Structure 1
Amino acid sequence: MSIMTNNASDATGDTVPPGEPTPDATYRAGDPVQEKKMRRRHRWGQFDFKYSPYLYVSPFFILFALVGLFPLIYTFVVSINDWDLLGGAGEWVGLDNYVAEISSPLFWNSLFNTFSIFLLSAIPQLLVATFIAAILDQNIRAKTFWRMSVLIPYVVTPVAVTLIFSSAFDEKYGLINNLLQTINIDPVAWKSEVIPSHLAIATMVNWRWTGYNALILLAAMQAVPRELHESAAIDGAGSLRRFFAITLPSIRPTMIFVVITATIGGLQIFTEPKLFNPSSSVPGGPEREYQTTVLYLWDLAFNRGDFGRASAVAWMLFLIIILIGLINFFLSGSIASSSEGGSRKNRRQQRRAHKHAVQMAQSKIASNRMSGSNVTAGEKGGESHE
């Protein structure tokens, strides 16, 4: 008679503790139900491995489709119709809105103002931001305080900045003209002439965005290995030489990013020219002296109610920004490739110079050994002769 125990044993004869499922309790070979479950589990595992990464990144693409791609396509649809602000969609006009804007002098005036303000703001902004970042990268006192201070203009709202600078650049009672009069300089028509108004608006843009770009460049400078600066200093390179030979080439990708973002932001400038002269009935000055393309687009859409032509202007500005971005990309790529080629050439020259120096040192050591052996042999010969 066999004795019954509470412990079960598996196929290998090993005892399985009570309460633990045996292998054949979870899967039995040849059992169609168990095999179907295993196949289903395997398919779900493959599905999870292949498609779950797309599910994780899908929120970005959904949001981009809703707030980026759909408005862009819808704007193009509006641009090829005679679309009114109150009446809605009208008849299909094709590319007539684009042709009308290309032949409009107001569009070209706004484009000139946009590029003028952009150049007057972007170039000094990047130069000053690079200089500030280089200063903050040094070992100065209260580094955290100064790094936070340069970001204060960016924290201030653009409306407040524009109102303050609009009052400072007032033609009659502004602070700037009062300071000019104290040094016997005639007042400047900041709000009624082209170049002075562009300079005033560019000053606002520079004041707000220089610190922001300086911190981005500073973060890139902090990532440059200090060993490069130390080795260059040991070789006798000064701080200015190290900055141009080590720091600037090392932060080139960040510099390209700053240039592209400054280009996009500069070509879409709206708040500063819109609020620069609130008393003007015409957006952009009495004679549209500083009416940018986005401000002209806003005037077409909400003052004249012509959504079709405004959408055409928006699409042309979009294409201009894409074109300038591609030009910046190819120029930065060519500069990077030329600098890499120059650095490879310098490395080859350094290797050749090092090899030549090693050969000269080896030949000098060999000649010293030969002369030393000759002297020793001569001394020995003299001793034997004696």
Structure 2
Amino acid sequence: MARARFSNEITRTSVTTARASLLPQINATATQSSGTQSLDSINMNPNSPDFGRPTPDREFTSQRWGAGVSQQVLNVGDWFGYRAAKADANRADWDLQTASQGLIIRVAQAYLSVLSRQAELESAIAAEEAVQRQLEQVQQRFDVGLEAITGVLESKAAYDSAVVTRIRAESQQRVSFETLRTLTGTAYGEIANLKEDLAIVDPLPKDENEWVRTAMDTNFGIRSAQLALASAEHNVKNSMSQYLPTLSATASYGTNSGQSSVNGVVLPDQGASTSVNYSFNLQVPLFRGMRTQANVKRARLSRNLARQSLIEQELNVAEQVRTRFRLVVTDVVAVAASAEALKSAQAALEATQTGYEVGTRNIVDVLRAQQDVFRNEYQYNLSRHTYVLDMLRLKESAGILSDSDIQDLNSDIDAGNPVQKAP
């Protein structure tokens, strides 16, 4: 964001620069000079006491000060250059908003990534504890002759695998906290989890075409591309104005004063002179070595490029909005399906454990049933996190993502259920 803000400020300075060409230019001058004038001549005045002698050197000093003002009366190119600069500045504002939306998405993604890694870690810890208990039970049954050694070995292998999975999950959870720290500049030891009763609903309105129409009006990328085209149009007019005459007006005021001396004798003061000048400068371009034609051609090609970029941006945004709308709709179904799958896996585990106790199921069946429960629990939490992120991305594509959406997300967190960074 810091880079985006600096880039925005740099672009906005071009407006001031372009406006300066339309405003009066005022300047003041002051000059102090001194020198010696040597004449290689003979005094030929017979009435002069210096008749026949070389003309002496003359020393002089002079002062001059003045002020002037100039104003462009007619310069179409400067006017369109100013309008192009304003369009670029407005485009920079939209680019800054785009960067702001991108930051919101990245922070939300980093936050939800922590929650997903925590869900994975909790699943791994639960799996390790369950397999450990199962290993202890199998060992006890083996000790009294109710279990074969293969059951013990299978349980031990499952436990070792669960330990490795838990260690890997802890590492990934710590990495996700570091990613969040990099984005926010704050080192978090814990963050709040989402509420269990988080509302999972279809996007409103439920018509994807309505979302596309909204995006065409409010998407930041489209607005930026539109202003880029407007700037290119002004640049075309600016380049074509090089065929037109320009007219400027100038007014100046100045005074001159000074004195001279010969052989140290100051000559009589000649007084000061004052000058006031007014002028109009009309320039009519006749031929510039094909430079103007080349500038016009380049400006028109740049305009065509900007127009094509706008068309591509609109097509890409429409496709993106439709895709993300459908993803959110799919996420809603996926969350409901994951919840049902978790319930079914839990019921299947209970039935498998009962079957193991009565001898109709073996330990491998129990371990698989436990793994199904933990996997479905993780998938359920992951589907909720995916829904939240996809909804934010849909709003980003439509150009309606704002700080209020983050505030709404904050209202859906459960401060009493913190996620602590793994040691």
User: Normalising by structure 2, what TM-score?
Assistant: 0.27
Which has the larger share of strand? 2
Bigger-Rg structure (1/2): 2
Which has the larger share of helix? 1
User: Normalising by structure 1, what TM-score?
Assistant: 0.29
Looking at both structures, which has the greater relative contact order when contacts are Cα pairs under 8 Å and sequence separation is at least 6? Answer: 2
